[in-house]
Amino acid sequence: MGHGVSCARTGDEHDYFRAAQLGDLDALTALLAADPSLALRATLYDRLSALHIAAANGRLEVLSMILDRGVPPDAVNRHKQTPLMLAAMHGKIDCLLKLLQAGANILMFDSVHGRTCLHHAAYFGHVDCLQAILSAAQTTPVADSWGFARFVNVRDDHGATPLHLAARQGRPGCVQVLLENGAIVSALTGSYGFPGSTSLHLAARSGSLDCIRKLLAWGADRLQRDSAGRIPYAVALKRNHGACAALLNPSSAEPMVWPSPLKFISELDPEAKALLEAALMEANKEREKKILNGTKFSLPSPSHCDDDDANIVDDTSSEVSDTELCCICFDQACTIEVEDCGHQMCAPCTLALCCHSKPNPTTLTLPSPACPFCRGSISRLLVARTSTATAGDPDKPASPQLARRRSRRSHNLSEGSSSFKGLSSAMGSLSLSKLGLGSSRTVDSDIGDLDKPEHDL
C-alpha cells in the first residue's frame, strides 16, 4: 500500500472518498471491509486522505471510525497540510477536538506559507478551534519542547504570527484570545504585508475597528513605523478606513490599556476580570465617542437612555442602597475587593489604579499596584462580596449584571489618559481618615470639596 498508482485506482477508491465527504458511514464501512488498504489511500492529485476529507467537511463519525482503525492522524496532503489544519481552516470544531484527542501534532508546518493549525484557525477566524488548539498546547509535549509562549507566537515563512493573521483578516475574537494567551502585541512581521508591520498596521489595513480597539487596549503602539516608514494611522488613511484612522491618529486621546504585567491579568479571578474588562471597554467607548464626535464617523451608540434601561436601573435602586459606594469616585458601587486587606472599590477605579497609558518599552516592569486605601500590596483582585448582612448569602458575589448597568452611567474615566501614578498621587492627597477606610457612609457628611476626584489626572 502507499504506492496505489494508476491500476490500483479503482471505482472503489472514488466511492470511498466520496463516502467520506458525504459522511456515509455504511458505505465507508462496506468499502473498507472489502479492501482495508483503502484506509491509507490518498487522492491522486491533492493527496487528500479520507481523514482530510472528513475533517474538512466536519464528518465526525467518519473521522472517528478511521482513527479508531489505527490510521495515524497526521497524514499530510500535497501542501503538507494535516487533517487538523483543514479542520481549523473550516472551523470543524468537533473534528478538531477528536483529532487533538487522537494525538494530532499541533506543531506541523504546511508547505504553502509554513503555517501551523494555529495560524489557520486565526486566519479563518474560528475562535473555538483557536481556543482548543491553545488548550492542547498547554498539555501536549509542545509545551515542554517549545514552550507555550513560543507556540502562541509561532511564525510562518513570512514572519507572520497568528495574531498578525487575525488582525489582517479582521478577526477580533481571535485577536482577543491570542492576546489573552500571551501573543506579543508589538511583534513585527518579516515579509508578510509590508515588512516590519505590527498587528496594528495589519488591522488598520483590514479596517477592523474591533481589532484596533483590542490591540490598542493591549498596548499596541500607534507610533510604530513599518519598513516603509508608515504608522498604522497612515495605513488606515490610505485604505480609506476613516473611523479606524481617527482612533489611530496619534493626536487623538490615548485609549486605556490593560495592565502591562500580563501575569497580573492571568491571575485575575474570572468574575473580577469580566467586571474590569467591561469597565475598560466602556471607558474606551466613551473616549471613542469623543474622538469620533465631529468627524463624519459615528459609532452606533449603545442605547443608554431608552426607557427599558431606565426601568432596569430603577429596579436595582434598592440593591444600590444596600451596596457600599466606592470611596474613590463616590459614584459607583464597590464591585472589586482587594486581597489581602479587603478594601473595596468599583471596577472603573480598580482599572484606573492598575492601568497605565503605555507599557514602558525599556523596563517592561511596573511598580505593582498598591491598595489606594492602605498602600498594602495587592495579591489578588476578587469580586466584592456584599458587606451588608441583609444580603443573606455572604458568599454570593455581587451581580456582574448590576455592575455593568451601573458602569453605563456617565463616568469621567473616559477622559484623558489614566495612570496608576496619576491615581495614586490623587489618592495621596486624600487623608485616610476622610476615606473612611471602606465604610462610605461615614464619609458622606465630611467629604466636603473632595468629591469625585478625577480618575485620570
Q: Is 58 exposed, middle or buried (0-12, 13-18, 19+ CB in 10 A)?
A: middle
DSSP string, 166-201: HHHTT-HHHHHHHHHTT--TTPPPSSSSSTT--HHH
Count interface residues toward Zn ion (CB under 5 A): 12
Helix segments in 316-445, DSSP class H: 317-322, 347-354, 400-407, 420-428, 432-435
Tell me: does residue 291 bind Zn ion (CB under 5 A): no
Rg over alpha carbons for the chain, rounded to the nearest Å, is 27
Stretch that binds Zn ion, among 223-231, 275-283, 335-343, 406-414 (CB under 5 A): 335-343
- Residue listed under C-alpha cell 473595596: 344
For the CB of residue 253, give the shortest distance to Zn ion in the complex, in Å: 20
Tell me: does residue 329 bind Zn ion (CB under 5 A): yes
Stretch that binds Zn ion, among 3-11, 13-21, 298-306, 327-335 (CB under 5 A): 327-335
Tell me: does residue 443 bind Zn ion (CB under 5 A): no
Contact between 407 and 332 under an 8 Å Cβ cutoff? The reply is: yes
Residues 357-416 within binding reach of Zn ion (CB under 5 A): 371, 373-374, 376
DSSP state of 344: E
Identity of the residue, 121 or 341, whose beta carbon is nearer to Zn ion in the bound complex: 341
Identity of the residue, 275 or 346, whose beta carbon is nearer to Zn ion in the bound complex: 346
Contacts of 16 (CB under 8 A, 6+ apart): 28, 31, 32, 38, 41, 50
Among 129, 283, 328, 435, binds Zn ion (CB under 5 A): 328
3-state DSSP assignment of residue 315: helix
Tell me: does residue 200 bind Zn ion (CB under 5 A): no
CA dist 155 and 114 (Å) reads: 8
Identity of the residue, 120 or 343, whose beta carbon is nearer to Zn ion in the bound complex: 343
Tell me: does residue 326 bind Zn ion (CB under 5 A): yes
For the CB of residue 435, give the shortest distance to Zn ion in the complex, in Å: 10
Tell me: does residue 100 bind Zn ion (CB under 5 A): no
Tell me: does residue 336 bind Zn ion (CB under 5 A): no
Identity of the residue, 154 or 341, whose beta carbon is nearer to Zn ion in the bound complex: 341
Tell me: does residue 435 bind Zn ion (CB under 5 A): no
For the CB of residue 240, give the shortest distance to Zn ion in the complex, in Å: 40
- Residue listed under C-alpha cell 504570527: 161
Residues that bind Zn ion (CB under 5 A): 326, 328-329, 332, 341, 343, 346, 349, 371, 373-374, 376
